[in-house]
Chain A
């Protein structure tokens, strides 16, 4: 079993839709959770990070962690074509462990 599992997609939505991206993880000791965004032919960039359970909001983006079910989510409100990218979840032991990424396409 992989330590972090992520649906690869692709996920295709119309502009303005609410997008939900999800990951599951296996180790209850994980405390820090991150979402990275990767545009085509670019390196990943840190989008949001949260510690332990709860929600964190930043503009149109909300990161949510449910430690009881080992589930992490990223919600994008009012999605835009510029949100089209691959989104990678990550968590840590002594190093970051990444999900395989979900490719999102937002069409006009």
Chain B
């Protein structure tokens, strides 16, 4: 099925460890986004990309890095995980910006202990 695929689905990290979350889309979308979702906070944009080779900061970028080496993939990295990064992470993509709505992946549940 076409859509946005996130891996892994679950992960437990120790404080200070690093990891990379992978997002892949097969809809030929130009724009891709990483959000985190926390209770009472809603969806907050971490980083986004408007095309292959481009990245930009969102609302809460600190502690995260991203890369978009291929159009279909958008990677989110945590270099030194902190308990405050415990969250559910969602990747999304869209064809041309946000006017037509985003397609979301099913999320990655990350716990940092």
Chain A's interface size range is 20 to 34
Q: Name the residue of chain A whose CB is nearest to the CB of B109.
A: A41
Q: State A42–B37 Cα separation when bound (angstroms).
A: 12
Whether a CB of chain A sits under 8 angstroms from the CB of B41 is yes
Decide yes or no: A95 and B58 within 8 Å by CB, A42-B107, A43-B104, A43-B107 being known contacts. yes
Decide yes or no: A49 and B58 within 8 Å by CB, A41-B107, A43-B90, A99-B42 being known contacts. no
Q: Given B33, B42, B92, B100, which contacts A101 in the complex, CB threshold below 8 Å?
A: B42
1/0 per position for B54-86, CB-CB distance to A under 8 A? Answer: 000010000000000000000000000000000
**Min distance, Cβ A93 to any Cβ of chain B, angstroms:** 8
1/0 per position for A38-82, CB-CB distance to B under 8 A? Answer: 000111111001000000000000000000000000000000000
Give the chain A neighbours of B92 by CB distance below 8 A. Answer: 43
1/0 per position for B27-63, CB-CB distance to A under 8 A? Answer: 0000001000000111101001000000000100000
Q: Given B4, B43, B99, which contacts A98 in the complex, CB threshold below 8 Å?
A: B43
Q: How many residues of B contact A (CB 8 A)?
A: 22
Q: Name the residue of chain B whose CB is nearest to the CB of A93.
A: B98
Q: Name the residue of chain B whose CB is nearest to the CB of A44.
A: B104
Q: Name the residue of chain A whose CB is nearest to the CB of B99.
A: A32
**Min distance, Cβ B11 to any Cβ of chain A, angstroms:** 15
Q: Are A98 and B101 in contact (CB under 8 A)?
A: no
Q: Name the residue of chain B whose CB is nearest to the CB of A100.
A: B42
Decide yes or no: A96 and B90 within 8 Å by CB, A44-B43, A88-B43 being known contacts. no
8 shortest interchain CB distances as A-B pairs? A43-B104, A100-B42, A46-B101, A98-B43, A96-B98, A92-B98, A43-B106, A44-B104
14 contacts between A and B (CB under 8 A): A6-B42, A34-B101, A43-B92, A44-B43, A44-B102, A45-B104, A46-B103, A49-B100, A94-B97, A94-B98, A95-B33, A95-B97, A96-B102, A99-B42
